[in-house]
Each structure stands twice: as C-alpha cells, then as structure tokens.
Amino acid sequence: MKKNWAKNIKNVVLHPFTWIMLILLIKIIAFQIVIFDNKSFFHILIVEFPMWALFLTIFIILFKERKWLAIWLYNLGLSTLFIVVIFYTRYFSTVPSYYDVKQIYQSNSVGGTVALLGTPYDYLFFLDVAVILPLIWYFKRGDSPRSFANAKKWAIGFSCVGLITTIIAFFYPLVDVSYFAKKHGYIQSQFVQMYERSIGKAFAENEYLSDKDLAKLKGNSYVPFTEHDTYGLAKDRHVFVIQVESLQGFTIKQSIDGQEITPNLNALLKESAYFDNVYQQIGAGNTSDAEWLMHTSLYPEGMDPTVNVIDNGSEIPSLVRTLKDNGYGTATYHADDITYWSRDKLYPALGFDYIYTSEEIPNEKEIGFGPADEVLFNFVESQLPNHLNEHDKMYSNIITLTNHTPFEMPEEFKYLDLPDEYEGTYVGNYLQSVRYTDEQIGLFIKQLKKLGIYDDSLVLIYGDHSGLHGAPVTEKDYEILKEILGHGYNLQDRFVVPVIFTAPGIFHGETHSQLGGQIDLMPTLLNLLGIEHNTQMIGHNLFQYKHNLLGMRYYLPGGSFISDNTLYTAPSAKHPAVLYNRETMKKTKNTKNMQKRIDNTLQIMQYSDYIRKEMEEE
C-alpha cells in the first residue's frame, strides 16, 4: 500500500504536466503581485490560474504531435503579454483591456518613453521560457503518447472552475476595469467587457435628463442658455482653438530662476479670461479624446478610444456642424498621420470643411515624431488668407504636437537656462518643451495681429492632458517638482489643465477658479458666440455656473468624482478608496453626501453614453 502511494506521488512529481503547470502558476503569482499587489494564494489558485491553465491545456490538445512546441510558444506569448501589461500600467496607471490591443499601431507615439518604463527585473518573466528548454529535453527522451493523456480531463476541470468564476463575475457591476480584474480575474474581466460593449450596451436604457436635471445633479439652479450674462459677447468673431499637447496648469505664471516658463501665454492673460481649475477628462484615446470632449461636450468612451466607436460615414452633431450652420468655415490642423487614433473617421464625422494632417503639413524641422510646432503654425498662417476669402468667419482647430513625451528638445530650441540639477531629467525636458511651444503660440498671435484679424477673434487655448505621470517621472523629478510647486506633486497638479479664452476688448485679465472640466469648453465657447447647439450637451457654461460635478474614466478608477471641494478616487487594483480635500489635497473623512455624489456622477456619465449611442444609431 505504502509502495503504491509512494509510486503515485513519484509519478505525479515527475510528470511533465505537473512541471509545466507549476511553472505557469509561479508566473501567474508574479504577475498578480506586480500588477495588482495580490498576494492571496487561494484567490490566485481558484480565480486567476484556472483560466490561463485552460488555454495552455487547449494548446496541448490541439497541437498533438507538437505539444512541447505549443507549451514553449504559449509561455513565450504569455511572457510578452505580461510585459506589455506591466509597461502599459506603469505609464497610464490603469490595466489595459483587449481594446488596447487594437491600438498597438499607435505605439510610435510613445515609443521614446518605453525605455523609461522597464527595469531589468521585468525580464525575469521570460526566465521560464529558458527553463522549459531543458525540461523539454528531459521529458522528450522517454516521451510517449500517454505523457499528456489526461489533458482533456484537466481541460474539463479547468473549464468548470473557469466557468463558475466567470458567471460570478457577470453578477457584479463593471465600474472600474482594473479593480474588477483584480477581484474577478483578468481574463474574466475581458469577457465581461466584451459583453458590455457588444451586447449589454445594446440593451441599455437610460432615463432622460433635461438640462435642468443635469444642472441640479451638479448642484446648480438652471438658467436658460440665452439668458446667461456672457451670451453673444463674442458674436461673429473668428474662432481659433489651440489644443496644446501635454500642457499642465502649473506651468502658467510659473518661473524658474526668474525665467517664465510660459511668457507668451502669461502676456495673453491680460486680454483673457483664465480658468485655473479645469480638469482633464480624457480616456484611453488621450489627445483624440480631448478633441472629442471639445467638439461634442460628451464623455469619452473610457477604456476604448472614443474614435473606435465611430462608424465610417457617421455625421455626429458637433461644435463644427453647429458653427457651419451659423456661417463659419471650419478647418482642423494636426501634423500627425491622419490614421492615428482614427482621425480619418473622426474629422469627417465632426464635419470639418478642411482637414490638414501630415499629408499636407510639410515634414520640416522634425522634433520627436513629427514636424515642429513652428512648422504647424506657419502652415496655418499660409492657409488663413485663402479661407478668409472664402468665408466671412473661420473656425480653426489647431492641435500642437511638439510638447510630447519624452519631451527631448534639440539644443537650439532650449530657451530656458535651467539649474544644473534639471539637466537630463524628465521634468527638465518637459519644461524646455513647454517653453518652446509657448514661443510658437506667441509668434502665431503676432501673425494674427499682422493679418488684422486678432481684434475680431476669440482664441481658446487649453491643455489636452498631463505630461508628467507614470514611471518616467523619477524620484529626482518629484524632488524638482516639489521645489517648483512648493508642495509634493499631487493629482490636482497632474490633472488640472489651463484654459484661456482670449478676446481683445471683452476680457481684461480676469481669473476664474470655479471647478470645470474639458466637457465644459464647448458650451462656454458657444455661449460667448451667442450660438445654441441643436443637441444636448453634458457640460455647461463655465462663466455662468459656480458648482460642478465631474467624472473621469481610465485615469481615475470608475466611480471616482471631482466636486467643488473634494476629489474622490474609488478603489483600484492597488489602492483603497480615498477622499481628498481639493484645497489642501490632504485625505479627509467621508461625508454623508459622498455616495450621492458618486451616484450623481455615474448617472451623468451613463446619460452621456446614452446620448452618444443614440448619435451612432441615427
């Protein structure tokens, strides 16, 4: 009896299936610790491991005579996937979904940053790929058809466990993908997302919210659009919207050793209304999501770049179409490949008359991965006279490119004389890059004056998203930022983007500090122009309303909100829920109104999704 027991134990220990599954389990444990800080062996063994083991077992069954090749390829592919997920999470601070696989072709836009994300320890995920080779040699010496004879039985077992955990996952709301993946399994979270995107949303219904309802949810008393104090102040003016890549609010009015980081933007403030408390609200689409927010006043998709949900041939009610209906010619300029972030679908869907991208804008003075902003603005200036001959009023949407990670500028374009300790740092590079783009904006404003249209124009300048975030920002960078800011770099420093409405003769250097989001830019602009939009907007006129309630997807966990006095981050894969006082950015106690704000935020965002879905189906 004892001999049989010992023999059985020996057979199990020496069986190749035991070894490959043990190696896989160790890899899954390492992945869970690195990505989710999950150290629960029971959770990993029951929830996470069976799904990955099932796919490996299926490979073994399908490959038949080449099962060892299948095992090796599976582990190589899994190691590569885990490294991609780790790098992605370090940069974007969120766990990627299957949506993001479709965006691999965009990788050249952050290619220079990839080297900053990895550590030598990451590549230990490939150690098992090497370890398996001697195992293959050892077990193939006496290999027989019965070596993996029980694979089908194991596949059934793994399937049963995986099916149970997946079914359980479907009973929970998917508010934040990273947190959901930690609790219910990475693969299970992908299945739930597929369902939500393809089937679940098709059956989604939402209670209609009027403009009055939206105002109330944000804490305001509704005022009809045409009765706002700012309605029509800039009527019939030319409009220039400059979306500045990676421009963060803390750079405005900021100096280093007596040198202004943004001297030209600072000078513009004298003829502007400056909003210093506006938050980015982009999702996975980053810059393209900022364009979506600007031109629709609707929330972006979140985990999927919003451009991916736009069908070819769509005609989206937008700022562009509304301006065209009111006599404007419309043009957009971006010195990038039009296929990146599917702008070949986005721009026609928004309705631009003229679309200028890397095909039209000369590839000169290349910095990073495109023409320098100097070339972009020169091209805009060259097109304006023709546009003004064709149209009485012009709307020009200009997307800058140079101030993009990793922010490495040629020596001749470094206009700041920074302290020695800034040399070679990510923050130092960023400040030089911001200063360069600021210079080009200043030169462009001078050209508008030379053309004689500046005094008849409304210029909106805003940042699309943060530039300083994720693994590229080192401890030394944080020390420099603390020295610049006078406090530790926090979420408010990261997420607040500058918003400047410049209108000569109308504004005279006023600063507004009420809470706003990028979703509010379109209604604010239209109100100044005295133009009503023909479909509902989720944002509101920043000049009129003093209270706000903002949501953010992707860069904050689902269920997070930003209110007048607090910033709430919902629980994520690695961090518990936290409520901050926005004035001090110190943790504060939960208030009795917190759950109501969470519910109101989710209701507003879900209603935005409903409006977008209705647009797609029309």
Q: Which active-site residues does the annotation give?
A: 287
Per the annotation, does 404 bind a ligand?
Answer: yes
CB atoms < 10 A from the CB of 66, how many? Answer: 13
Start-to-end CA span in the chain (Å): 74
SS3 label, residue 463 = strand
Per the annotation, does 301 bind a ligand?
Answer: no
**Which amino acid appears at position 217 of this protein?**
L
Per the annotation, does 469 bind a ligand?
Answer: no
Give the whole-angstrom CA distance, residue 602 versus residue 551. 8
Give the whole-angstrom CA distance, residue 447 versus residue 442. 9
Q: Six-digit token pair at 492?
A: 């408010």
Angstrom CA distances, 245 to 335, 536, 563, stand at 12, 28, 25
CB atoms < 10 A from the CB of 545, how many? Answer: 23
Give the whole-angstrom CA distance, residue 139 versus residue 16. 7
Angstrom CA distances, 433 to 22, 303, 397, stand at 49, 29, 21
Residues in the chain: 618
Per the annotation, does 547 bind a ligand?
Answer: no
The number of CA neighbours under 13 Å toward the Cβ of 496 is: 25
Q: Six-digit token pair at 300?
A: 């972006």
Per the annotation, does 465 bind a ligand?
Answer: yes
Give the whole-angstrom CA distance, residue 594 versus residue 122. 39
The number of CA neighbours under 13 Å toward the Cβ of 238 is: 22
Q: Six-digit token pair at 440?
A: 């080009």
Q: Which residues fall in the annotated binding site?
A: 245, 287, 404, 464-465
Q: Which residues fall in the annotated binding site for Mn(2+)?
A: 245, 287, 464-465
Q: Which residues fall in the annotated binding site for substrate?
A: 404
